Amino acid sequence: MRIDQSECGCTIELDGEIEAVLQTSTGLGWSGIGFSDIMLGSQGTVSIVQQGVHFALSLAPPSQRFLWSGQTYDFSEDNIIVLEPGAAVVESWTGPFRTLTLRLAPEAVERITDASLTKTQIRTQFVPSRSQIAVSHLLQAVSADLETGCSTGPLLVESVSATLLQLFSGGETMPRRTGPTLTSPQAATLRELILARLAEPLSLQHLADAVGTSVGHLVRAFKTSFGVTPYQFILRERVNRAQDLIASGTLSLSEIVPLAGFNDASQMSKTFRRLTGQPPRAFLRRARETRPLGPSNG
């Protein structure tokens, strides 16, 4: 199979087998961001030229080789590659394995970091994933979000992109020290906007526009001001709304799912359990047990 593709500042020429496309962002309209989760077949080669920034996670490759700048990097274990702007890499493999890739076009990098592409100072590297286990979790979280329908729109993938750019940046565009904060009116505006549109997809750009700032500034200031990322804040508020609706006793769990902003009952249950330590049905039972009884007819 021969595939030539250009997307999000990345040109790919693949000559090999693809067993399955598990998840893809194609058609979702993510601005300058592309994501894929695929199973590669028994063997093949791929040439990659990246104008933006590229993050990839390979899971259990039997034999994988990267050729970059005259050097070779061989792996037979989970690994992560990061490609800097302008990097040209040739990859070859033998044996099927899963690979997750996040591609950021130059304009997406500049929007998220609030700095020019050259100042991000991302450097090409090839490392075992055990040395950067957080990257593995982040990329698999994007795939899981796609699988459940991306109820928050591009918010998770934008947050993951911001985290990875900060993690691998050698520059000072996204400092690790305490960042800027939102003003009280800005924080109030964002809180009101999120609560009013809790059941709708949101993007970092929507939030940044609402308070007249850049995405890069928003990412840093929101975390400093609220203590969590916008994505984490929205999930927490969705669980809070689900709890309020359950406690009201007027709706079934299936009716609460869309009102709280979840795509399906499974997604609500997983998020609810992760944030509260119990599934929605357990919370419902406790709410019924503690709900005051109506007035006696006797």
How confident is the model over 3-24, as pLDDT tens digits? 898 999 899 999 999 999 999 9
What was the pLDDT predicted at 172?
Answer: 44
pLDDT confidence tier of residue 180, bands split at 50, 70 and 90: confident
- pLDDT of 218 above 70: yes
CA distance 282 to 298: 32
- In CATH terms, 2-168 corresponds, of 3.30.479.10, 2.60.120.10, 3.40.50.2020, 3.90.1300.10, to 2.60.120.10
Rounded (10°) CA dihedral 29, 264, 267, 194? 60
Percent of the chain surpassing pLDDT 70? 94
Return the pLDDT at 179. Answer: 66
Q: Encode burial over 87-111: b for 16+ CB neighbours within 10 A, e otherwise.
A: bebebbbeebbbbbbbbbbbebbbb
What is the chain's length?
Answer: 298
Task: Tell me the per-residue pLDDT of 276-298, one tens digit each, with 9 for 90 and over.
Answer: 999 999 999 988 887 665 554 44
The single-letter DSSP state of residue 178 is -
Give the 3-state DSSP-derived string for 220-255, with helices as H, strands as E and coil as C: HHHHHHHCCCHHHHHHHHHHHHHHHHHHHCCCCHHH
Could you tell me if 2 and 42 are in contact, meaning their C-beta atoms sit under 8 angstroms apart?
Answer: no
123 Cβ contact partners less than 8 Å away, ≥ 6 residues apart:
82, 84, 168, 170
Mean per-residue pLDDT of the chain: 90
Class of residue 204 by CB neighbours under 10 A (exposed 0-12, middle 13-18, buried 19+): buried
φ and ψ of 89, to 5 deg: -130, 145
**pTM, entire model:** 0.83
Q: Quick check: 235 and 271 in contact, CB under 8 A?
A: yes
Model confidence at 90: pLDDT above 50: yes
Domain extents in the chain: 2-168, 184-289
The position carrying tokens 């070779």 is 72
**CATH class of residue range 184-289:** mainly alpha
Res. 130: pLDDT tops 80: yes
pLDDT attached to residue 34: 96
Give the DSSP H or E segment for 107: helix 106-113
Kindly indicate the confidence band of residue 89, based on its pLDDT and cuts at 50, 70 and 90: very high
Q: Pick left, alpha or beta for residue 150 (phi over 0 → left; psi -120 to 50 → alpha; otherwise beta).
A: left
249: left (phi over 0), alpha (psi -120 to 50) or beta: left
52-64 pLDDT per residue, tens: 999 999 999 999 9
